[in-house]
């Protein structure tokens, strides 16, 4: 059995991933669950499925086994698959064009990948992050 190092608890999930697809996977995982199980599950998920193509070719039952700690297996699986299909032809602009990505995911993408700090998120963690970033820049 392989051990997967969980993501750091002192950083947001978005600060610990390396590309936009991983970001969107993290956003879908964070939907209706707390960050702690996501920080445990995401490293293993990305180990087995490092790209959208790898996820799209994976066995559904195996994917769901990894997603099990997050709950909502069928919904989460469907969102990840549909988002990954969309991602392959996405232009990288409007994140809400990806299946399953709403305001939180779009705001997060704008902040972490486009460095657009003019967004006005409603999520308290994104608000806190933006406040800390702007205070550091002063």
Residues marked active site are found at: 123
Q: State which residues form the domain around 121.
A: 13-137
> How confident is the model over 29-86, as pLDDT tens digits?
999 888 889 888 999 999 999 999 999 999 999 999 999 999 999 999 999 999 999 9
The pLDDT of residue 116 is 92
Residue 4, in any domain of the structure: no
- pLDDT band (50, 70, 90) for residue 1: very low
Residue 45, in any domain of the structure: yes
Residue 65, in any domain of the structure: yes
Q: Which of 5-9, 87-91, 99-103 has the lowest mean pLDDT?
A: 5-9
> How confident is the model over 86-99, as pLDDT tens digits?
999 999 999 999 99
Residue 133, in any domain of the structure: yes
Tally the domains of the chain: 1
pTM higher than 0.95: no
Residue 6, in any domain of the structure: no
What CATH number did the domain enclosing 43 receive?
1.10.340.30
Alpha-carbon distance of 56 to 117, in angstroms, equals: 33
Residue 8, in any domain of the structure: no
Task: Tell which phi-psi region holds residue 10, choosing left (phi > 0), alpha (psi between -120 and 50) or beta.
Answer: alpha
Residue 18, in any domain of the structure: yes
Residue 3, in any domain of the structure: no
Distances (CA, A) of 36 to 10, 15, 23, 52, 70: 11, 15, 16, 24, 10
The pLDDT of residue 11 is 61
């Amino acid at each position: 059995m392989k051990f997967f190092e969980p993501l750091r608890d002192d950083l947001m999930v978005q600060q610990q991933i390396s590309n936009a697809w991983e970001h969107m996977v993290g956003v879908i995982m964070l939907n209706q669950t707390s960050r702690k199980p996501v920080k445990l599950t995401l490293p293993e998920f990305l180990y087995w499925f490092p790209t959208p193509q790898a996820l799209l070719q994976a066995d559904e039952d195996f994917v769901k086994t990894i997603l099990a700690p997050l709950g909502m297996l069928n919904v989460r699986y469907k969102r990840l698959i549909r988002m990954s299909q969309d991602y392959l032809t996405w232009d990288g602009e409007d994140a809400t064009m990806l299946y399953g990505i709403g305001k939180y995911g779009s705001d997060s993408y704008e902040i972490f990948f486009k460095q657009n700090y003019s967004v006005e998120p409603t999520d308290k963690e994104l608000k806190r992050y933006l406040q800390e970033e702007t205070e550091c820049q002063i």
